[in-house]
Structure 1
Amino acid sequence: MAPVVSCLFLLALIGHWPFSYAKSQMHDPASTSQHTTTAFELIKALNLHPKLDVNIFNPNTSVSVSTTDSKIVEKQLRLLVLGESGASIHDLVHLAGYVRINHTIGSRMFYYFFQSRNRKDDPVVIWLTGGPGCSSAIALFKENGPFHLTNNLSLVWNDYGWDKVSNIIYIDQPIGTGFSYTSNEKDIRHDEKGVSDDLYDFLQEFFKLHPDYAKNDLYITGESYGGHYIPAFAARIYQGNKNKDGIHINLKGFAIGNGLTEPGIQFKAYPDFALRNNLINEKDYNRIMNQFVPKCEQAAKKCGTHGQKTCLDARDKCLQVHREIASISDFCVYDIRRKECYDMSAIEEFLNKASVKKALGVPRDINFVSCSGVVYGAMLEDFMRNLEVGLPQLLDADIKMLIYAGEYDFICNWLGNYRWVDAMKWSGQPEFKAARVIKFKVDGKEAGLLKNYGPLTFLKVHDAGHMVSLDQPKASLQMLKKWMDGKIN
């Protein structure tokens, strides 16, 4: 059987992206260092060109209400959307706001909240885009949000938005991503502990302001580097609940789409995936497997879960596997069927409009940072760490886990994701290994291949690349609903 599964939004995996971590945040290709210029070129696969590397901003309360010292400042979001929402209620609650994050010098995390078009007591779903350092607005406006942004900067209702079955929150994180900002660069995070603590603080403040949603079931979702964020955040919530650390959060599950979770196994799968899809021939395969994969595998083990410099060495050695394959075939790393990748430039243009920032409550001096080089550079040592190790305790606590992946994504391909899921040691591992693969159907037609046992589900999605919700919106919505309802198996 061909196993099934998930990946990530790793914009920088193509190359180094070692942005210099400097106080100057402006992109100027004519004057930046060679490293920065290299990084600037990498994100052109999505046609993104952020004007800043990060938002370091000393707020002046005269600039915007969003820069006050309140713990949370939000406003009703009223954007012109074409078409009909299909909602069963008349006045949908759409919010945008900032949360001041505890345990930081001066950080504000930006978010969008959309009430379910179905029922207010639907589950709360959190979406985290990867990078690290890419805004969740990318998913909001181009993948699974309530509406889609067209190339002429109009908004149209999305018939398959995830808000049709959930109350959904899109968060610009880690700090410095998207519209999130800080007054001090010391708040920029370097590891998953810092990232997950900030997200936990965010959620505590959000539920204090919106206690009606705190009782709802909660699911964490995301893609790409979300394969790192999501396990750490889920573990932080689990531990916070055990320690009675603030408001109890009704965590029911988490889903990772095309994510990076266990790099050692996933990088090793690159040559196999490439050979299966005719990106390389058998001679190339044998050369890469013999010359580069063993070095990657050994270095990844040294990195482990908490390595530092060893993780930088592992990253260099494992990226060489990727480079060798990319030097042989010309393809889009997010979808091997394409020569050219996606064009997300409309998002930057739209969110940097003064009228849109005003509607969102964003200070006029804050720029939209689609993907932050500073955030990415700060997380370099985190990149190769193994985030699978904390998942067995969550599964054994009956917290549901869904790993899904578009079959044509290369960078976080389904094969590597399936292999780490299959290799994960937990109480249900023997039963999961023995479970049969079944068809995942949408409207009576096969849309993917699925394997499930207990709280663990793996899904390989047909005819999709790195962004499953973009390529297969109807299937992704059905996947989410059936999974949350416990009916995906």
Structure 2
Amino acid sequence: MRFMARLPSSNSTQSLDFSYQFFFLQASSLHLALSDSEIIDFLPGFRGPLPFHLETGYVGVGELEDVELFYYFVKSERNPERDPLMLLLNGGPGCSGWSGLVYEIGPLKYDNDDQYNGSSLPGLVLNPYSWTKVSNIIFIDSPVGTGFSYGRTVVASQTGLFKQVHNLLHFLRKWLPDHPDFKSNPVYLAGDSYSGIPIPILAQQITIENEGSVTPPINLQGYALGNPFTDPSDLDYGIPYAHGMALISDELYESLKKNCRGKYTSIDPSNKKCLKDMQAYEKCISGIHLFYTLSPRCTNESLVLEEIINGRRSLSQDFESFLDAESHCSEHEHLLSLYWANDPSVRRALGIREERSMYLLLLCFSFLDKYLCTSIE
């Protein structure tokens, strides 16, 4: 995983179009109300009490505080009073904070030795490599509509890049006073994939406010991005990478470069030679799982996920034999989250509000088209 980390300097703030300041809260408009949170001692699927501090809750943000952002907060197991405080944002946009907690750097993971058969909840075990061993982490469902976050009105449910950043900043401005033990901890912003776009903007805005008159300052020390998406042109590097990894022939690579002129996204429909080469390229990599390159592609399980998302299949359907046969697939754990996170006992344990209880939690629900359209403001 490739990481980039830095803290914007005051000189870099000139690159931010200050016409976007409309989207950011000023200190005078901040309402530092207490968040709706609770401490979680037990989770369905985990044997015994949790051996770490887990807090979940909602924080109302936005101009009218009608955007309810849901979060999971895990204290550091080493020295929470002094260890860094990290706000972790997953990609998409639309990937739940739960995916970061259970699949990436959080203290829990699904028990791969437990053959889930649909008769009980998937099991959870400790992740010995969790970053919460040495840091406090807030896993957040952002933007609105992600995971268990929701808007109380139609307008509040609309999202976009700068609205997302605006809401994340408001979240921190409310969460930190509600957790005064962490007001002096070094703060880091972190994320992967699409988070490579909102996180630097959020870091820059915090820097601007820290250098201005907004109090209390946020002790931002930097940000970290893993495999970040920064621009659509990033996708053009996939073909040179595939060639470097010997996934496509020299002949096909040279033809792609010549016919597509190094641009492999948004191809002109009239460029038949480029389209033909791209079809050949797609065929060459069709057997590779792009997100888990060492795992097999399990088309049946991917189809199940798609059918659940599109409402053509119910979670109550019997997948016992399918799950037993496909447990080696990378998507297997993603399907387990659908069963676990959408169980009523889990939602009660996490403190999920009734307003969100009727929605099916998807680890990554992409609304990129809507998100981008509402960002152009």
Q: Which amino acid aligns with 2:190?
A: T
Per-residue CA deviations over 1:70-116 (Å, capped at 9, x if unaligned) read 6510001122444898x7xxxx4320000001225621000000111
Q: 2:253 aligns with which of 262, 285, 302?
A: 285
Take 1:324 and 1:212, find their aligned partners in 2: how far apart are those partners?
57
Equivalent residue of 1:347, what SS? helix
Matched, 1:100 2:60: yes
1:72 is matched with 35
Which residue of 2 is the match for residue 113 of structure 1?
73
Give the whole-Å Cα distance in 1 for the aligned partners of 2:201 and 2:280.
31
Structure 2: how far apart are the matches of 1:320 and 1:182? 44
1:189 Cα deviation after fit: 5.0
After superposition, the Cα gap between the structure-2 partners of 1:321 and 1:370, relative to the gap in structure 1 and judged at 3 Å, is farther
What does the per-residue CA deviation read over 1:153-188, in whole Å, with 9 as the maximum and x for residues that have no partner? 222121111110001110000000000001223234
Aligned twin of 2:325: none
* CA distance in structure 1 between the partners assigned to 2:216 and 2:243 by the alignment: 49
For 1:5, the equivalent position in structure 2 comes to 2
Matched residue type, 2:250: E
Instruction: Say yes or no: does 1:169 pair with 2:138.
Output: yes
Q: CA deviation at 1:135?
A: 0.6
Which residue of the other structure, out of 88, 101, 121, is the alignment partner of 1:140?
A: 101
Give yes or no for the alignment of 1:155 onto 2:124. yes
Q: Matches of 2:294 and 2:203 in 1, distance apart?
A: 34
Could you tell me which amino acid in structure 1 is paired with residue 247 of structure 2?
Answer: L
Give the match for residue 371 of structure 2.
379
After TM superposition, give the deviation of residue 372 of structure 1 in Å. Answer: 2.4
In 2 relative to 1, CA 270–381 (structure 1 residues): closer, same or farther, beyond 3 Å?
A: farther
Does the CA-based 8 Å contact 2:2-2:225 persist in structure 1?
no
**Is the aligned partner of 1:180 residue 2:172?**
no
Distance 1:321 1:246 in 2: 56
Report if aligned partners of 1:357, 1:364 keep a CA contact under 8 Å in 2: no
In the other structure, the counterpart of 1:333 is 290
Cα distance in 1 between the residues matched to 2:187 and 2:289? 34
* 8 Å contact kept, 1:174–1:195: yes
Residue 221 of structure 1 corresponds to 190
Distance 1:130-1:244 versus aligned 2 partners, 3 A rule: same
- Residue 441 (structure 1) aligns with: none
Amino acid at match of 1:379: Y
CA shift, 1:149, in A, is 2.4
Uncovered stretches (5+) of structure 1, i.e. residues with no partner: 8-69, 301-312, 386-489
Instruction: Return the alpha-carbon distance in structure 2 between the equivalents of residues 110 and 143 of structure 1.
Output: 18
Distance 1:382 1:321, change over 3 A: farther
Partners of 2:167 and 2:275 in 1: how far apart? 29
Aligned partners of 1:84 and 1:157 also within 8 Å: no
Task: Evaluate the alpha carbon distance shift between residue 135 and residue 319 of structure 1 in structure 2; reply closer, same or farther with a 3 A threshold.
Answer: farther
1:379 CA displacement: 2.2
Cα deviation 1:304-342 (Å, max 9, x = unaligned): xxxxxxxxx9xxxx9999876333322111133333243
From 209, 233, 237, give the equivalent of 2:178: 209
Cα RMSD between the aligned structures?
3.2
Match of 1:46 in 2: none
- 5 Å-filtered alignment, 1:357-436, equals 357-366=347-356, 367=359, 368-373=361-366, 375-380=367-372
CA contact (8 A) 2:67 2:157 kept: no
Superposed, which structure 2 residues align to 1:8-47 within 5 Å? none
Unaligned runs of 5+ in 2: 5-32, 117-121, 298-329
CA distance in 2, matches of 1:285, 1:380: 32
Q: In the alignment, which residue of structure 1 is the partner of 2:315?
A: none
1:258 aligns to what? 227
Choose 1 or 2 for highest CA Rg.
2
User: In structure 2, do the counterparts of structure 1 residues 361 and 177 end up closer, same or farther at CA, with 3 Å as the change threshold?
Assistant: same
Contact 1:112 1:170 in 2 (8 A): yes
Identify which of 336, 340, 352 aligns with 1:350. 340
Partners of 2:54 and 2:75 within 8 A in 1: yes
